[in-house]
Amino acid sequence: MEVKLPTFDSVFSIDCVIFGFDAGELKILLIERNEEPFKDWLALPGYIVEQDESIDDAAERILYELTGLRDLHMQQFHTFGEVKRHPQGRVITVAYYALIRINGQKEVKPVTQYAKSAFWHPVNDLPKLAFDHSEIFNTGFNKIRRRLNYQPIAFELLPEKFTLTQLQSLYEAVLNKKLDKRNFRKKMLSYGFLKELDEKQKGVSYRAAKLYKFDRRKYAKIFQNELNLVQ
């Protein structure tokens, strides 16, 4: 039996592709929908922009409502405006991405009834998503892959203190290729925006690695004219 849905004329909406990095794996945030159409499907967090809020504000609000996450640095990357994207009417969607540290403890949980749940899912082997969200995800993933080379986005995904191996495995996850350890370290250190700490990794069952911090001020100075960080 087919459910008859109401229709509407035309709305703006926001969809969010939120990347996290955890246990050497790149993940994105998905929700389980609780409303028709695509009820029970997995989808990107997204909803409708209000009359009196900018799209940037809307992106923050919507992400919060659907996942409980706040104060991310979200950036728009593409607008999807095909006519038949949404079964109920005309929807033009501005897609945003953000990068975030997943600390084991950080729980994600919808604040509204619109989503049943929210959770992290590895970017490899994503299931089919609602609407054209698979396409939106792909577009976003390609964007950050490219931006990795000229913006310090890697550091938003890592904890404040990180090891060079963690940094490298993040690059490898995003670029989807192996990098040479010695060359990677040489290059990263040569930029001068990594601050070596007097601290070591803890709780590992092998030789502990030195911890580093990302020095935002040095970065800003050096990269006024953007460069490629990795080949």
Partner DNA sequence: AATATAAGGTGTCGAAATTACACCATTAAA
Partner DNA sequence: TTTAATGGTGTAATTTCGACACCTTATATT
H-type alpha helices, the chain? 55-67, 133-147, 154-157, 164-175, 181-191, 216-222
Which residues would be at the binding site for DNA (CB under 7 A)?
163-165, 180-183, 185-187, 200, 204-210, 228, 231
Q: Which of residues 130-149 bind a copy of itself (CB under 8 A)?
A: 146
Where are any strands of DSSP class E within 24-127? 25-33, 42-43, 46-48, 75-80, 89-101, 115-122
Element (H, E) at 199: strand 194-200
Q: Specify the DSSP class assigned to residue 6.
A: P
Q: Which of residues 155-214 bind a copy of itself (CB under 8 A)?
A: none
Whether the CB-CB separation of 60 and 74 falls below 8 Å is answered with yes
Complex with a copy of itself: residue 146 or 221, whichever CB lies closer: 146
Complex with a copy of itself: residue 180 or 226, whichever CB lies closer: 226
Confirm or reject binding of residue 92 to a copy of itself (CB under 8 A).
Answer: yes
* Residue 143: alpha-carbon gap to chain centroid: 11
Three-state SS at 194: strand
| Beta-bridge mates of residue 194 | 214
> 175 contacts which partner out of a copy of itself, DNA, none, CB within 5 to 8 A by kind?
none
Confirm or reject binding of residue 230 to a copy of itself (CB under 8 A).
Answer: no
Confirm or reject binding of residue 81 to a copy of itself (CB under 8 A).
Answer: yes
Q: How far is the CB of 9 from a copy of itself (least distance, A)?
A: 7
Q: How far is the CB of 230 from DNA (least distance, A)?
A: 8
Interacting residue ranges for a copy of itself, rule: CB under 8 A:
9-10, 12, 49, 51-56, 58, 76, 78-79, 81-83, 90, 92, 94, 146, 226, 228
